[in-house]
């Protein structure tokens, strides 16, 4: 996509990856993605904020050429992950006078990943500034959005915040620059998916970063992926809600059923919760898009895993999802398990509890039944629905 000016003297010069379907080989990209690099033209110096995936470097160079750029003084690296740093060696090859501006931790990671020599770096500390001539860049250490070395760069006079991965979305679009009435729902959805899959484990760090952004009060937020945000409160308010300690009275039931016993239990529990006016959403893990469940985990109050016993444990697809949830560390308050077994009634619970060790939620007595559910089993499920509905009323 062609270069675009987002404010006088500040241009998007990145690359759009229209048909990429996975990031880090795990994060679903139903809308593709972009690698947003930005050029800041000061009166004396020129700074490039981040680069692109190395296989997309031609697009970056085309955009620089289109703007007639013959000199780059600084390459600011907000994050060492290769989707933003990977083309730095190619930019240095083309502009050998450029210095890589970053913090000490990011420098070390860039050297591990890209074998850059010491003399190409200019190290900056928290809140340090860099004068480009009429445009000042200020750097803010912002660890864990998404790695420990991440930082923000702020164009002070223009009030543009280059927020790195933070507040981004995986969206490939030629309408890169803003939220409009037409795309508002898509931007919200993809920003939430991005938060769920990438940022959610760092919720407590993010709370602090949101306060910093409030202090800066930027007019434009220019993240490293997806749309550039002019309606900053739209995204900041969404983030404030997601990182808050509040949960939604919603029960998720990720399940697998081999011969229908567990499915029958899931359907019964779903009906019983719904009868009590509790929002409930079963997800068949064999067919569900995990990123959709991850989005629900952002604020669901309870998760009931439903699995048959198989291979001396829970079903591998249930374990796979539990492992993902354990890593994403959502603010789920209550957990439980239902399912069916043939000869060993405890293996599913033991397996799942071991995998979910990072989730600090209250466990509600599981309902594991032998064979197909009978009358007593349905009564136990009714009791589980009653307990959940009482808990969720006060969650």
Residues that bind ligand FEO (CB under 6 A): 79, 81, 83-84, 146, 165, 224-225
Query: What is the CA 54 to chain-centroid distance, rounded?
Result: 22
> CA nearest 330: which of 381, 296, 291?
296
**338 membership: H or E segment, kind and range:** strand 334-341
Residue 146 CB, shortest distance to ligand FEO, in Å, is 4
Q: In 3D, which of 318, 395, 392 has the Cα closest to residue 349?
A: 318
Neighbours of 264 (CB within 10 A): 18
Q: For the CB of residue 22, give the shortest distance to ligand FEO in the complex, in Å.
A: 13
Nearest to 228 by CA among 12, 69, 30: 12
Which one-letter DSSP state was computed for residue 120? G
Residues 326, 329, 334: CA angle, nearest 5 degrees: 85
Name the residue nearer to ligand FEO (CB basis): 31 or 165: 165
Contact 29, 56 (CB under 8 A): no
Q: Which two tokens stand for residue 169?
A: 């979305």
Instruction: Considering the complex, state which of residue 31 and residue 296 has its C-beta at the smaller distance from ligand FEO.
Output: 31
Radius of gyration of the chain (CA): 24
Closer to ligand FEO by Cβ: residue 52 or 348: 52
CB of 49 to ligand FEO, least distance (A): 13
- Kind and range of the H or E element at 17? strand 15-17
Output the six-digit token pair for 328. 């994403």
> Whole-number minimum distance, CB 387 to ligand FEO, in Å?
40
CB of 198 to ligand FEO, least distance (A): 7
Nearer to ligand FEO, 146 or 263 (CB): 146
Instruction: Kindly state the tokens that stand for 228.
Output: 């550039």
Residue with smaller CB distance to ligand FEO, 148 or 345? 148
Angle (CA) 104 105 111, round 5°: 90
Shortest separation between residue 147's beta carbon and ligand FEO, angstroms? 6
Smaller CB distance to ligand FEO: residue 79 or 107? 79
326 within 8 A of 64, measured Cβ to Cβ: no
Strands 74-76 and 99-102: parallel
In the complex, minimum distance from the CB of residue 81 to ligand FEO, in angstroms, rounded to a whole number: 4
CB of 111 to ligand FEO, least distance (A): 18
Dist. CA 115–CA 325, nearest whole Å: 35
- 154 CB-contact burial (10 Å; exposed 0-12 / middle 13-18 / buried 19+): buried
Name which of 144 and 242 has its Cβ closer to ligand FEO.
144
Closest to ligand FEO by CB, 113 vs 387, is 113
Residue nearest to ligand FEO (CB): 81
């Amino acid at each position: 996509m062609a270069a675009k000016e987002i404010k006088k003297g500040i241009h998007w010069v990145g690359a759009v990856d229209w048909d990429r379907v996975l990031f880090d080989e795990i994060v679903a990209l139903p809308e593709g993605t972009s690698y947003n690099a930005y050029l800041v033209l000061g009166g004396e110096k020129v700074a490039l904020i981040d680069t692109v995936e190395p296989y997309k470097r031609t697009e970056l160079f085309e955009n620089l050429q289109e703007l007639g750029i013959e000199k780059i003084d600084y390459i600011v690296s907000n994050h060492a992950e290769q989707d933003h740093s990977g083309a730095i060696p190619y930019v240095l090859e083309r502009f050998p006078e450029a210095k890589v501006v970053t913090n000490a931790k990011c420098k070390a990671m860039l050297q591990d990943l890209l074998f850059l020599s010491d003399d190409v770096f200019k190290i900056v500390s928290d809140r340090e500034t860099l004068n480009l001539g009429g445009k000042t860049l200020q750097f803010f250490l912002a660890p864990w959005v998404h790695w420990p070395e991440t930082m923000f760069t702020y164009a002070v006079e223009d009030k543009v915040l280059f927020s790195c991965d933070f507040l981004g979305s995986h969206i490939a679009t030629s309408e890169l620059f803003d939220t409009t009435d037409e795309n508002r729902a898509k931007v919200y959805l993809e920003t939430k998916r991005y938060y769920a899959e990438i940022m959610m484990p760092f919720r407590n760090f993010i709370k602090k970063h949101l306060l910093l952004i409030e202090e800066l009060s930027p007019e434009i937020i220019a993240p490293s992926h997806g749309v550039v945000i002019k309606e900053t409160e739209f995204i900041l308010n969404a983030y404030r809600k997601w990182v808050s300690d509040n949960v939604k009275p919603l029960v998720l039931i990720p399940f697998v059923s081999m011969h229908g016993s567990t499915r029958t239990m899931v359907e019964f529990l779903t009906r019983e919760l719904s009868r009590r006016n509790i929002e409930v959403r079963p997800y068949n893990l064999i067919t569900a898009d995990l990123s959709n469940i991850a989005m629900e985990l952002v604020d669901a109050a309870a998760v009931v895993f439903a699995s048959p016993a198989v291979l001396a444990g829970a079903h591998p697809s249930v374990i796979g999802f539990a492992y993902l949830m354990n890593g994403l560390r959502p603010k789920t308050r209550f957990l439980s398990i239902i399912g069916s077994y043939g000869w060993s009634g405890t293996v599913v619970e033991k397996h799942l509890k071991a995998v979910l060790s990072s989730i600090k939620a209250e466990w509600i007595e599981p309902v594991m039944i032998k064979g197909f559910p009978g009358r007593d089993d349905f009564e136990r499920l009714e009791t589980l629905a009653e307990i959940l509905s009482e808990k969720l009323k006060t969650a």
